[in-house]
Structure formats: structure tokens, C-alpha cells
Amino acid sequence: MTFVSISTPVKNRGFFRYGALCYIVGVVQFFAAMGAAAFYYGPPGYNFQKNSISDLQAVHCATFGGKYVCSPLHVIANLSVTMVGLLLILGTLLIRDRFSSGRRQMFAFGLLIVAGAGAAANGFTPEDVTLNGDILSAVLAFLAANFGLIQLGRAMSDDVYWHNLRAYTKISGAVGLGALILDGVNITGPLGSGIEWLIVAPISLWMFVVGIQLLRIPLGKKGLIKQL
């Protein structure tokens, strides 16, 4: 086994930094917006065990799903969800050249783009306006994101620069996917509706970590890929 040096084409050099910023800004604005929406939620106040993320996006103050929901900052919450989806798409397109090429990598990035599209659509489908739309867009985003991470983690074994994040990436996808399955079969334990945050947290934290990692790459730095 040998290692072959690779580098990003000159015309794309430096674009990955904008992709890194898309990832970081997307995650930060999402949690800031959701934090604000949760803070001003109600009455009654937002309960991470009893209320879902979708409750923060609900347009009306009314009884829904057996509980009273009221999110005064629903516009901000929905815009934030759409924004993180769009930034995931744009960021993924801009950073893909910093990974070794191959069908597995392209498939993984394709899944992340699909996840971004699902998240972007979810901002236009509040649960109390179109419940089916909310569920379908959220499931699409969650499934694609977590399967994408698992696939990308496998592909990182071919890229020395990302080798140290291989296990972390696969575990992140597995945790998010496992939480999604448990939520789907209604086995949430003490987390209750808060299990949605366990679905969202791994991909969100991964975006932030990868964004920071990318910003540490000097312009023009070459990477290494394995050649068998």
C-alpha cells in the first residue's frame, strides 16, 4: 500500500473555507434560533421531555397532538430550519473537493444534500399546518443525514487527512439513526419527545466539528489518499 498526494484544483482552492463557514453558521444559527423559540415558548413553557422540535415551529396557539402548543417565535424557528438545510447543501457542495474522490464519497455527499433539501422543506411544513409534510420532510432529512454520515465515515478510510474522524463520523450517524428508529417505534424512555434532539444533535455537532477542521487546512495544502 502506498500513498499518493492530491490537491484541489486551483480554480476551487479556498472555496472549501466558505463551505466550512456554511456548516458552522448553519449549526450556530439553528441552535440560537431554537433556543430563543424555546425560551419564549408558551405558556405553558417549553418542556424538552414533553415537547418536540416541531412544537417550536407550530404556527397556531392551540391544542395539537393532545397538548397545547404555542410558539410566538415560530417564524424564526421555521426560517432557521430552512436556513440550516440550505447551508448544509451549499456547504457540502463547497467542501467535497477536500475529500478524496470516489463513488462512495459522492454517494455520501449526495445523501447529505438530500438531507439538506429535506430540512429546507421542513421549514415550510409546520406540524399544525401539514402534519404529513412535517413528518415526511423530517424523516427524509434525518434518514439521509445519518446514512450519509455512516457512508462518509466508511469512505474516510481512503483519506489520510480525515482518517482521525472516521470512527466519530460513523458513530454520529449510527447514534442519530438509532434515535430515529427508537422514536419511530415510540420507545423513547425518559427522553420522551426530547429524543428528537438526540436525532438532530449528532449531524449538527458533526457539521461544526468538520467546519472547524476545514478552517484549519492551509490554502493549497495537499492531502493523501491510499492506493492499493
Mean pLDDT of the chain: 89
In the chain, pLDDT over 90 holds for what percent of residues? Answer: 76
Angstrom distance (rounded) from CA 18 to CA 151? 23
Is residue 53 situated within a structural domain?
no
Asked if the structure places residue 5 within a domain, the reply is no
Is 66 inside any structural domain? no
Looking at residue 156, what is its pLDDT? Answer: 85
**What total of structural domains would you count in the chain?**
1
Residue 116 belongs to a domain: yes
Rounded-to-integer distance, Cα 41 and Cα 35, Å = 10
Higher-scoring residue by pLDDT: 179, 157: 179
* 19 occurs within a structural domain: no
Q: Are 2 and 186 in contact (CB under 8 A)?
A: no
* Spatial distance between the Cα atoms of 33 and 38, rounded to a whole number of angstroms: 9
* Cis peptide bond N-terminal to 190, omega within 30: no
Strands 223-227 and 67-69: unpaired
* pTM listed for this prediction: 0.88
Look up residue 134 and give its amino acid.
D
Give buried/exposed letters for 23-36 (b at 16+ CB in 10 A, else e). Answer: bbbbbebbbebbeb
Quick: pLDDT tens for 16-72: 999 999 999 999 999 999 999 999 999 999 999 999 999 999 999 999 988 999 999
Does residue 192 sit within a domain?
Answer: yes
Q: Give the structural domain span for 180.
A: 30-35+74-215
In a domain, 182, yes or no: yes
Whether 224 has a pLDDT exceeding 80, the answer reads no
Residue type, 148: G
42 lies in a domain?
no
Characterize 155-185 residue by residue with b for buried, 16 or more Cβ atoms within 10 angstroms of its Cβ, and e for exposed.
bbebbebbeebbebbbebbebbbebbebbee
125-146, pLDDT tens digit by residue?
999 999 999 999 999 999 999 9
Q: How far apart are CA 75 and CA 136, in angstroms?
A: 20
